[in-house]
Amino acid sequence: MSGAPSEPVLISEVQARVARELDRLAPVIDPLGRRFAEAGHTLALVGGPVRDAMLGRAGNDLDFTTSARPEETERLLRGLTGALWDMGRDFGTIGAQIDGWQVEITTYRSESYDPTSRKPEVNFGDSLVGDLSRRDFTVNAMALTVPERGFEDPFGGLVDLANRVLRTPGTPEQSFSDDPLRMMRAARFAAQLGFTPAPEVVAAMTDMAGRIEIISAERVRDELVKLVSAPWPRRGLELLVETGLAAYVLPELPALRLERDEHNRHKDVYEHTLTVLEQAIDLERSRHGEDAEPDFVGRFAALMHDVGKPKTRRFVDDGTVTFHHHDVVGAKITRKRMKALRFSNDQVDAVSKLVELHLRFHGYGSGEWTDSAVRRYVRDAGDQLERLHILTRADCTTRNKRKADRLRRTYDDLETRIERLSEEEELAAIRPDLDGAQIMEILGIPPGRDVGRAYKFLLELRMDHGPQSEDAARDALLAWWPGED
> Which residues make up the interface to ligand ATP (CB under 6 A)?
47-48, 61, 63, 135-136, 140, 179, 181-182, 185
> What order do you get walking across the sheet with 143-146 strand by strand?
84-85, 93-98, 101-107, 61-66, 43-46, 143-146, 151-152
21 contact, one of ligand ATP, Mg ion, none, CB 5-8 Å limit per kind:
none
Contacts of 378 (CB under 8 A, 6+ apart): 385, 418, 421, 422
> Measured from the CB of residue 4, what is the shortest distance to Mg ion in angstroms?
20
What whole-number distance in Å separates Cα of residue 52 and Cα of residue 58?
6
Beta-strand pair 151-152/143-146: antiparallel
Q: Closest-CB residue for ligand ATP?
A: 48
Q: Ramachandran region of residue 342, left (φ > 0), alpha (ψ -120 to 50) or beta?
A: left
In the complex, minimum distance from the CB of residue 346 to ligand ATP, in angstroms, rounded to a whole number? 23
Question: Which span sits near Mg ion by CB under 5 A: 46-54, 201-209, 277-285, 328-336?
Answer: 46-54
Q: Could you write out the DSSP letters of every residue in 85-122? A: E-TTGGGTEEEEEETTEEEEEEE-B--B--TTSSS-B-
The number of residues that bind Mg ion (CB under 5 A) is 1
Task: Pick between residue 63 and residue 295 the one whose CB is nearest to ligand ATP.
Answer: 63
Give the nearer residue to ligand ATP in terms of CB position, either 177 or 397.
Answer: 177
Closer to Mg ion by Cβ: residue 143 or 350: 143
The distance of closest approach from Cβ of residue 184 to ligand ATP in the complex, given in angstroms and rounded to an integer, is 9
Question: Closest approach of Cβ 140 to ligand ATP, in Å?
Answer: 3
Distances 51 to 47, 103, 106, 202, 223 between C-alpha atoms, Å: 6, 16, 17, 21, 18
- Least Å from the CB of residue 102 to Mg ion: 9
Shortest spacing between CB 135 and Mg ion, in angstroms: 12
Burial (0-12, 13-18, 19+ Cβ within 10 Å), 112:
exposed
What character string, x for contact with Mg ion (CB under 5 A) and - otherwise, covers 404-443? ----------------------------------------
Which entry of ligand ATP, Mg ion, none binds 272, CB below 5 to 8 A by partner kind?
none
The answer to the question of residue 48 lying near Mg ion (CB under 5 A) is yes
The residues of the shown chain that bind Mg ion, judged by CB under 5 A, are 48
